[in-house]
Structure 1
Amino acid sequence: MPQSYIKRILDARVYDVARETPVDEAMLMSRRLGNRVLFKREDLQPVFSFKLRGAYNKMQKLSPEQLACGVIAASAGNHAQGLALAAQHMGVKATIVMPRTTPQIKVDAVRNRGARVVLHGDSFEEASAQAQKLVAEKSMVYVHPFDDPDIIAGQGTVGMEIVRQCQRPPHAIFVPVGGGGLLAGVAAYVKYVWPQTRLIGVEPEDAACLQLAMRRGRRAILPEVGLFADGCAVAQIGKEPFRVIRETVDEVITATTDEICAAIKDIFEDTRGIAEPAGALALAGLKKYVERTGVKDQDLLAIVSGANTNFDRLRYISERTEIGEQREAVISVTIPERPGSFRAFCSALGRRNITEFNYRYSDPGAALVFLGLSVVPGGTDLAELLADLQQQGYATEDMTDNEMAKLHVRYMVGGRAPASLENESVFRVEFPERPGALLKFLSSLGQSWNISMFHYRNHGAAYGRILLGVQVPRAERREFRVVLDEIGYPWWDETANRAYQLYLGHTPEGAK
């Protein structure tokens, strides 16, 4: 039962290396949301993440004989740094197996803590398999990032501190979810002391393994996992965390990439700290909860779980923030191609703040405009604008939720395919961002098909993204898909995507 964790958490040894982090009131967010919003600042730990707590507590439970053999883990980030610091403090040898896609800043951080780093594979699964192989060969002790009672108890000290630091029981506590160790530990302790407080897990929309398990009543494996919130990019919730969570957690909320980016900005504006995507998840869920329920004048607490992010990623995050806040919309508008029509369209927009305006001549009869503009969050502003434009005779389409439009097409407007181009298929592909990966992808495609479009943009993340146009005759499409599967990178067929058809595909018949 979850109550068995209370003594474990009270006895957890974490404060030799971890610090008791503050619970701060977020004044700006409180005013915006009409509630008292609190941040539990786990981003202020020595390794900028809560993971240190569980790792150190686990090592404290090991025997002298086990410690003499050394510890090992597979991790691409925060667990690796937490275990490395814990091992350094205790004078124990630590080996961390990390995917080759791990950003150099995280590799260096682990090495600077005295741990040996082994780079292996392109994914966590490959790194984990190599770690298990080394366990068998060298008898080292494997320290799991979340599926271990001692790890859960260490993370549960976050909940213990919340109970001690808050003036009164909050209405709800929002906790980010990856493998579930933090949520299980916090929920076990808080629900025991404050059964009236709602415990809410928050997951990335594209890595919602807990929501899947709660819906099915058992653990299941996600076929694909999104990589933006890499600290929570887990395909299956942990077995032991799920046992605790299903008895203590009230609900699970998911957040989109745009909503996470908006939450990163919110945390910065209140604290001047830069949370990593997983670190801002809880606040993204808190905001959605307030919008959905209309709750007012309540204490709401979000755990800011970490701040390990690459500086290069901030460019991408800032671009997505305004859409995540519902302050920016992206729309496509068709206007007549004749003198004065451009000015007339701008007049129809009124005094709205335009954030992006992409246009290029492509047809003597009509012009397509890809437009970004500011809107009022949470209102009917965008719907009213679209209705007004349509009433004035403009064909409009909302692209705000079109991932391909936001990732690629907005930077490629004007590249419509010529009529002579036949059999073009379009695919979105993700590949590990390391030397030689792009060449490997292109080489694996072979020379049977002509590449007709290629767009690549570095977002400062572990994985790169490309948009690929390839001439594939209908009879060979199945063969081409088999080749993509064999390459092994995640891919999506975007040939039917409306953004592609409008801005990059053939000129519609009858338009000339």
Structure 2
Amino acid sequence: MTDFPQKARAAEAAMRAVFDATPLMRNDHLSGLHGADIWLKREDLTPVRSYKIRGAFNAMRKVLDADPSQDVFVCASAGNHAQGVAWNCRHFGTRGVIFMPVTTPQQKIDKTRMFGGDHVEVRLVGDYFDQTLAAAQDHCAEVGAHFLSPFDDEDVIEGQASVAVEMLAQMDGAPDVVILPVGGGGLSAGVLSYFRDVSPETEFWFVEPEGGASLTAALAAGAPVTLPKVDTFVDGASVARIGARTFARLSGVPRERVLLAPEDRICVTILSVLNVEGIVLEPAGALAVDVLEALRPQIAGKRVVCVTSGGNFDFERLPEVKERAQRFAGLKKYFLLRLPQRPGALRDFLDMLGPDDDIARFEYLKKSARNFGTVLIGIETKDAAAFPALFAKMDAAGFAYRDITSDETVAEFVL
């Protein structure tokens, strides 16, 4: 056994001065739905509503133990890491300079300032995170501050492993399966490393957003690689390049144990957990729950822990989440309809709609005096089977149309 478990337990014990252990809660609904004994490790219930407070605390604690004169910490973050650093700056009585992109939502900026109070300064620099990160690192070099990485730091990894320490202390025996979200890899590297030593028989599954699969790419290449494009919808886990230190701990993970979660499907999970359980999860926090259905045969009858890693959800995003969930479930579609310019043509189309079909968007795109005009139509329904029936009627009537629901290029300009 390595000394990692002892370090993780020391980190967990020390952070009790900052916040209580997060609950490990059995979920009856998910257990019944998936035929397993499913528990949620509620990292969305830390003081900053994510596990990021753990790694920041442990890294700052160890730096200050080694050098009490170090009183300035710097980070670059647009979200949870910034809030964790801010909270701990106030706890330790140190100064923090937090660099955030200019494009960061105001809600996240305000929360970071609220958690840090007079101990933090927020600097908005750069339109993109790479610019923000460069500015933060340049500032560290100029003033001799300590840079706090969000994940690629051994002390941060050690701090995130406290999730596993609590998990085992809260259960009667080790879980059969643990499902972890993956972004930069700090949480997954820490929890996996702890279990490898203390409960090697526990099975692991890892989940990445489909648009930010940095671990999948690294496993395929045998080393961290930079993704050419990242979908930032799952902002808490959409990382272009997994950390070198975190990948060193995850490099032995079988590729088939890493699952990809489509962003639109994650929206379905967010709404389901909110509506059924009253639990608010951010997109990254919903990753572990999102793959339960796909893993149903593998987890049947087993005791499973899903780590819900964060709950910093901006409710201004709720309409977008609902929209994406409906599209994934096949309950909402957009299409371009070529409508003949004659009296009664629109009525002919409307008569094809079923009793549960609602028009959510109608925009006439005709730009000149032609025999046909184009209409952008959005339809919502209660049963996905309604759309094949509608399209069959349209085909039979000779209406020309194009389904653009999944056409990202067209949708970017017209939706």
Q: Give the match's secondary structure for 1:19.
A: coil
**Cα gap change, 1:268 to 1:197, in 2 (>3 Å):** same
1:194 shift after superposition: 4.2
**Is the aligned partner of 1:310 residue 2:309?**
no
1:82 shift after superposition: 1.0
Alpha-carbon spacing, 1:194–1:64, altered in 2? closer, same or farther (3 Å): closer
- Partner in structure 1 of residue 230 of structure 2: 225
| 2:189–2:246 Cα contact (<8 Å) kept | yes
Query: Which amino acid in the other structure matches residue 79 of structure 1?
Result: H
In 2, Cα distance between equivalents of 1:25 and 1:337: 60
Alignment partners' CA distance in 2, 1:385 and 1:166: 52
Cα 1:67–1:308 shift into 2, 3 Å: farther
Give the 3-state SS of the residue equivalent to 2:63 in structure 1. Answer: coil
Secondary structure in 2 matching 1:200: strand
TM-score by length of 2: 0.85
Q: Matches of 1:33 and 1:342 in 2, distance apart?
A: 46
Q: Residue 352 of structure 2 contacts residue 390 of structure 2 at CA under 8 Å; is this kept in 1? A: no
Structure 1 CA distance for aligned equivalents of residues 63 and 167 of structure 2: 28
Whether the aligned pair in 2 keeps the contact of 1:66 and 1:140 (CA below 8 Å) is no
2:359–2:377 CA contact under 8 A, matched in 1: no
SS at match of 1:319: helix
Out of 213, 219, 226, the residue aligned to residue 214 of structure 1 is 219
C-alpha separation between the residues in 1 aligned to 2:289 and 2:321? 15
- Once the two structures are TM-superposed, the CA of residue 313 in structure 1 deviates from its matched residue by 2.2
Helix, strand or coil: the match of 1:275? Answer: coil
- Alpha-carbon separation, structure 1, partners of 2:279 and 2:345: 46
SS at match of 1:286: coil
TM-score, length-scaled by structure 1? 0.70
Find out whether 1:48 has 2:52 as its counterpart: no
Query: CA RMSD, aligned part only?
Result: 3.0
Task: Report the Cα distance in structure 2 between the residues aligned to 1:304 and 1:255, rounded to whole angstroms.
Answer: 15
Report if the CA contact (8 A) 1:148-1:240 is conserved: yes
Structure 1 339/165 Cα, relative in aligned 2: closer, same or farther at 3 Å?
farther
Per mean C-alpha deviation after superposition, the further-off stretch among 337-346 and 202-211 is 337-346
Paired with 2:244 and 2:237, the residues of 1 have a C-alpha distance of: 16
Determine if contact 1:176/1:305 at 8 Å carries over to the other structure.
Answer: yes
Relative contact order higher in (CA < 8 Å, ≥ 6 apart): 2
How many residues get paired? 405
1:318-372, CA deviations, whole angstroms, 9 ceiling, x for partnerless residues?
3222223444344445565545554444444433433525253735346545232
Deviation of the 1:396 alpha carbon: 4.8
Equivalent-residue separation in structure 2 for 1:231 and 1:328 (angstroms): 27
The answer on 1:243 being equivalent to 2:222 is no
Name the counterpart of 1:322: 326
Specify the alignment match of 1:372 in structure 2.
Answer: 379
- Secondary structure of 1:49's counterpart equals coil
State the Cα distance separating 1:125 from its structure 2 match.
Answer: 1.7
- 1:392, CA displacement in angstroms? 5.6
**8 A Cα contact 1:329 1:375, kept in partner:** no
Q: Once the two structures are aligned, what percentage of the paired residues are identical?
A: 34
In 2, the alpha carbon distance for the partners of 1:201 and 1:58 equals 24
Q: 1:337/1:253 Cα in 2 relative to 1: closer, same or farther (>3 Å)?
A: farther
Determine if contact 1:330/1:370 at 8 Å carries over to the other structure. yes
The C-alpha deviation readout for 1:46-73, integer Å capped at 9, x for no partner, is 1111001111111221245634222222
Tell me the distance in 2 between the aligned counterparts of 1:312 and 1:359: 24
Q: Is the 8 A contact 2:365 2:376 kept in 1?
A: no
Structure 1: how far apart are the matches of 2:304 and 2:335?
A: 35
Aligned-partner Cα distance in 2 for 1:74–1:367:
47
Q: Is the 8 A contact 2:26 2:38 kept in 1?
A: yes
